Chains A and B, each alone.
Chain A
């Protein structure tokens, strides 16, 4: 078998879904490893990748997001870093980071058929969206105070870990 440069990965994670290898490993880490010994490296790897992606977004390099929106400014990046630190503590790994259509940074989460998105705007405010419920998506706004970030992370953690809707 010959290995080639792994530029593009395509795995099937579930019927109707696909993910990059990084996302696949990230999901595997948080779903399938409960029976394994607790590894700090594996737990933190999705976050190292997230910080790297954030640096790429900030420097406007890496995969293009094809958006006409304003590129993330310093406020959005600072708030995204604060959010990632809390997510790491709660071990809720983002599936993807992108430049946000609304001007800022989008942090997406995926657990089975459940999806959540936090948009960190250049103006300093944030919104969170939980999707997959029969009643449509649930959206709320919050600010960048630490307790507000923690409350949002906890709400997303509860949503992603609850049984499928």
Chain B
């Protein structure tokens, strides 16, 4: 049952679209063609670099690393909305304060149109919706089960007190559901006497056959609905009260 929250715990909501681009497309081309159209909303531009290890086999075996220009990140002045245009795809992230799914989707549609016109993707290989939530428990001593319904289970033969936890569950794409990586981890608390838990839901569809532009946005809607099911399935009514659950819709 979906809920609407006064203070959603979202610290990042993102739409990620991976694509195969023609070999002729370069990061310089992406930067030069995209930035003039978005510099009003995203005035801060950063080059993105990745380090890659290259292995050589032959008369001798060796390994070396090199850096590679992978794309650009364009940031809003407030640094809370970031659009990444990379050689392997596109990501739009909304950080705190999170607004709404329709806002995120609408902006992603606008930017994807721009990116696709410049990058001319040959195919879309992966589509994802990811929500990173930071849940602030207002007490440092509590029973996990009061707040969470998906938990690490500790044998009754072991001490039941935990100072931190890290759990990652990978759900396969089966029975009409798409694949999900669910991560639940403690992070340093934001205030003394409290407890902070991250609840990160990354739901995606990956296909070598490609996803058509026509089905892209309906698929993202489906992923978002399934993300909500996972989120609600992980928390309790006590947790919902922390976010100001005010109505069901």
Tell me the A residues contacting B by CB distance below 8 Å: 1-9, 11, 21-22, 24-25, 28, 35-42, 45, 49, 89-91, 154, 157-163
Please indicate the chain A residues that have their CB under 8 angstroms from the CB of B187 in the complex.
Answer: 21-22, 25, 45
Contact B12 A41 (CB under 8 A): yes
CB distance from B148 to the nearest CB of A (A): 10
CB contact under 8 A between A36 and B202, given known A154-B67, A162-B63: yes
CB contact under 8 A between A158 and B140, given known A6-B186, A22-B188: no
Contact B163 A163 (CB under 8 A): no
Total number of B residues with any Cβ neighbor in A under 8 Å: 55
Asked if B64 is an interface residue, CB under 8 A from chain A, the answer is yes
Q: For chain B, what secondary structure do more than half of its interface residues adopt (helix, strand, loop), or is it mixed?
A: strand
Contact B143 A2 (CB under 8 A): yes
Contact B16 A1 (CB under 8 A): no
Contact with A along B177-215 (1 / 0, CB 8 A): 000010001111100010100001010100000000000
Contact B51 A158 (CB under 8 A): yes
CA distance A7 to B166 in the complex (A): 16
Contact with A along B141-164 (1 / 0, CB 8 A): 111110000011010000011111
Contact B160 A162 (CB under 8 A): no
CA distance A39 to B181 in the complex (A): 13
CA distance A154 to B47 in the complex (A): 13
Residue of A3, A45, A154, A159 with most chain B CB atoms under a 10 A cut-off? A3
Please indicate the chain B residues that have their CB under 8 angstroms from the CB of A25 in the complex.
Answer: 166, 185, 187
Contact B195 A3 (CB under 8 A): yes
Q: Which of B49, B53, B161 contacts A162 (CB 8 A)?
A: B53
Asked if B40 is an interface residue, CB under 8 A from chain A, the answer is no
CB contact under 8 A between A41 and B95, given known A36-B181, A89-B46: yes
Please indicate the chain A residues that have their CB under 8 angstroms from the CB of B151 in the complex.
Answer: 1
Contact B141 A2 (CB under 8 A): yes
Please indicate the chain A residues that have their CB under 8 angstroms from the CB of B129 in the complex.
Answer: 37
CA distance A38 to B73 in the complex (A): 12
- Name which residue of chain A comes closest to B142, CB basis: A3
CA distance A38 to B132 in the complex (A): 11
Contact B144 A40 (CB under 8 A): no
Please indicate the chain A residues that have their CB under 8 angstroms from the CB of B163 in the complex.
Answer: 3-9
Contact A37 B204 (CB under 8 A): yes
Contact A89 B49 (CB under 8 A): yes
CB contact under 8 A between A157 and B67, given known A22-B188, A163-B53, A163-B55: yes
Contact A161 B188 (CB under 8 A): no
Q: Which of A1, A90, A162 contacts B144 (CB 8 A)?
A: A1
Asked if B125 is an interface residue, CB under 8 A from chain A, the answer is no
Contact with A along B127-138 (1 / 0, CB 8 A): 011101000010
Please indicate the chain B residues that have their CB under 8 angstroms from the CB of A45 in the complex.
Answer: 187
Asked if B65 is an interface residue, CB under 8 A from chain A, the answer is yes
Contact A41 B202 (CB under 8 A): no
Contact A5 B141 (CB under 8 A): yes
- Can you list 5 A-B contacts with CB-CB less than 8 angstroms, sorted by A residue number? A5-B140, A9-B163, A39-B200, A41-B95, A157-B67
Please indicate the chain B residues that have their CB under 8 angstroms from the CB of A4 in the complex.
Answer: 140-141, 161-163
CA distance A21 to B64 in the complex (A): 31
Contact B144 A3 (CB under 8 A): yes
Please indicate the chain B residues that have their CB under 8 angstroms from the CB of A160 in the complex.
Answer: 51
Contact A2 B160 (CB under 8 A): yes
Please indicate the chain A residues that have their CB under 8 angstroms from the CB of B63 in the complex.
Answer: 162-163
Contact A38 B66 (CB under 8 A): no
